[in-house]
Structure 1
Amino acid sequence: MLSISKITKLQPSELDKMDDLAPQEAAVLAIIKDNPFAGQQEIASMLGLARSTVAAHIVQLMQKGYILGRGYVMPARTRAVCIGGAVLDHKYRAKEALVFETSNPVDGIRSLGGVARNVAENLALLGTSTSFVSIVGDDEGGRAILKHMRDRGIDVSQVVTTSERPTAEYAAILDPQGELVLGIADMGIFDLLLPNHIERIWPHLAAASWVFSDCNPPAEMLAALIAKRQGGARFKLAIDAVSTPKAARLPKNLTGIDLLFMNIDEANSILKRQGHETIEDAREAALALQAAGAREAIVTMAARGIAVAGIEGAKTFPAVTARPIDITGAGDAMIAGTLHSILNGENTYAAARTGALLATLTTESTASVHTELSERFLEANMHRLVG
């Protein structure tokens, strides 16, 4: 006979989040939480159920994200999954004013990049339990990316390795002030990241608190991810446009996106609207993205600040004063700082301000991910937020 008393081993706060579980599923989950090594027959005997029934409940618990595959590994209480670009970055900063159609002396830096990869590393350094989903080549660059991320404590078990294309590369030409003059990218490998990969790793995604994706994957992959959220997936979904061309991969109906990140040019492009030079333009664009279906939207406007369209309407905030060295990775840091703060209980408005601070701190470093980043480092700089 079913022992409903087993459910009481779960905390009230946990039960509140389990309205998608049937009583037998909740009872099975309670036993697994109490003893992750319990076998199916043992669980069946404890609950008075057939072993096949317990097996079916375990499959459902995996599909709903309450356990992670074999061994009944329990997901972290708060966990982020980042999907998208993993890139080898080459940055060349001009020593003097650039002159086109001739050779220019530069200082070169090689590093690891990609929006989703950078977001994942920032999150991990801030202490968020983080997984990464992407595709890399079966080459030295791909192996270097995976090793670096493992060393950061990031789960890369769901990254695909392929021999069909080389690991993605990006080259940035910066002026003497560190502003981007020209960027070139070989990102064809991401065309191989197809919707069926979502199905293969579904329990891994379903167990996340937040899933973040950049727009490096094909439109079909993004549409499949959004459809999962529309279909009732328990995780919250955040998406970043990456660039104006890649923003076009998003569907016109943005329903299913819980938090959308764009800069003003990307937002104006997909909204088919003319841009202006004031922060009010970012505010109007954020509201328009919300009207198009996104639950919340953050539109950035560089030194002019950010606009957040949330559940309490749209608000604007000034940029954090910076002493920039290199702006590469600032937008990715902004996303990570925002998501980390949300995972720690902040509302989107406050979280976005923390994200803006982390973006500023990143511009003051030569690295795409600040080499000193930690939660303590971020806290030590919170005084730079004004008002």
Structure 2
Amino acid sequence: MTDREKEILEILKENPMISQQELADKLSITRSSTAVHITNLMKKGYIRGKGYILKKDNYITVIGGSNIDIQGVPKNPLVMFDSNPGKVDISLGGVGRNIADNIRRLGVSTKLISAVGNDLYGNQILSECKSYGIDVDDCYISNEYSTSIYVSILNNSSDMHVAISHMDILDKLDLSYIQSKHQHINDSLAIIIDTNLSEEVINFITTNYSHIPIFIDTVSTSKCMKIKNITGRFNTIKLNQYEAESLSGIKINNLEDVKLCSKYFLDTGVKNVFITLGKNGVFCANEQKSIHVKGVKIDIVSATGAGDAFTSALVYSHLNDFDLEYSAKFSMAASIIALSHKNTINPNMSVDYINKILEEKILC
């Protein structure tokens, strides 16, 4: 949202029935300019129809996994088939929940639709999400299934070596449950889903809410295959190199390969493609241009959660009309913040902190 649009929105909150001419006079701009701003606010979903009826809440909806993350890090090089001395941390996780958490820390009203068990971990997830200001009223709470648990083992360089994900409870986010949340989903400014959802649910959401920008986090090389035949339905797709290779069938060995891979996704109908390349940065593309943003050398505390932070920042970038290059750089800064903390979510995540990292490490 532009500064002028924010100014107009504040005036409309005080006087929803004000005329365009009165608005123009109040802002010392032409009536035609006012009309353009009003149209843009309607397109973005901040106001509805005649009379400038404001939405009660402007929020995004995240639909996906929530779980408890258990992460082990060895003190020395990892030895397979043996017990390794090290450190174990427990924190809230799940791709969908992580994205919702990061977006909320960026000041965006956020609704999370996920599934948890009626158990200690499930109650902890709901309680902490509420304390951060995340709306969890539409989460499914099961008396039958336990809350999902994600166990990851890092090597002594803090890169994930192997992980096991127990997420059977997400079967409860089935078609009928998602359909029961139609009005809340339909009122969203944007929808973010992860591929922990079933193919049936992903297909339903992308078919029935195509009028709303939909973002997808592909999660893993195996789970991303659920969207192979429907990638064109997404406004924005964020993948790592291996997920991009799996979906496109194109092996990435150099930047020309990445460009070819991005074109594959654009040709399916995706509006924006972001392929993260680890230490080599990120490659992004839309119909107008493609850009490679070089990586930044940093000390990594934990690689878990960087992708979720990147996706969250992409959503924020969309809501604030950032261009392709700045969206990539803003999102890279968010991932750097995630990489600098032991937990999946860096509690210091904020727009101000992202801007600080941008100035110090990326825009300099």
TM-score by length of 1: 0.80
Secondary structure at 2:209's aligned position in 1? Answer: helix
Tell me, in whole angstroms, the C-alpha distance in 2 between the residues paired with 1:220 and 1:169: 23
Q: Could you report, residue by residue, the CA deviation over 1:336-379 in whole angstroms, capped at 9, with x for unpaired residues?
A: 12211221221232112111111112111111111212222222
User: What amino acid is the match of 1:371?
Assistant: P
Secondary structure at 1:274's aligned position in 2? Answer: coil
The one of 119, 129, 135 aligned to 1:149: 129
Which structure 1 residue ranges, 5 or more long, are not aligned? 34-66, 68-73
Shift of 1:284: 2.0
Tell me, in whole angstroms, the C-alpha distance in 2 between the residues paired with 1:97 and 1:246: 29
Tell me, in whole angstroms, the C-alpha distance in 1 between the residues paired with 2:186 and 2:38: 16
Aligned: 1:345 with 2:321: yes
Pairing 1:53-92 to 2, within 5 Å after superposition: 74-76=56-58, 79-92=59-72
The one of 244, 260, 265 aligned to 2:242: 265
Secondary structure at 2:82's aligned position in 1? Answer: coil
Matching residue of 1:122: 102
Secondary structure at 1:381's aligned position in 2? Answer: helix
How many residues align? The count is: 333
Matching residue of 1:200: 180
Say if 1:174 and 1:386 are closer, same or farther in 2 by CA, change over 3 A.
same
Shift of 1:280: 3.2
Tell me, in whole angstroms, the C-alpha distance in 1 between the residues paired with 2:171 and 2:315: 26
Deviates more, 1:192-201 or 1:259-268: 192-201
Tell me, in whole angstroms, the C-alpha distance in 2 between the residues paired with 1:125 and 1:360: 15
Tell me, in whole angstroms, the C-alpha distance in 2 between the residues paired with 1:147 and 1:281: 45
Preserved CA contact (<8 Å) 1:229 1:256: no
Preserved CA contact (<8 Å) 2:101 2:129: yes
Q: Could you report, residue by residue, the CA deviation over 1:138-170 in whole angstroms, capped at 9, with x for unpaired residues?
A: 111111001111000111111111122111110
Tell me, in whole angstroms, the C-alpha distance in 2 between the residues paired with 1:16 and 1:274: 41
Aligned: 1:158 with 2:132: no
Say if 1:345 and 1:295 are closer, same or farther in 2 by CA, change over 3 A.
closer
User: What amino acid is the match of 2:303?
Assistant: I
Matching residue of 2:299: 323
Aligned: 1:361 with 2:337: yes
The one of 258, 261, 268 aligned to 1:285: 261
Say if 1:305 and 1:196 are closer, same or farther in 2 by CA, change over 3 A.
same
- Coordinate RMSD, CA, aligned: 2.3
User: What amino acid is the match of 1:243?
Assistant: S
Secondary structure at 1:248's aligned position in 2? Answer: helix
Preserved CA contact (<8 Å) 1:115 1:332: yes
TM-score by length of 2: 0.85
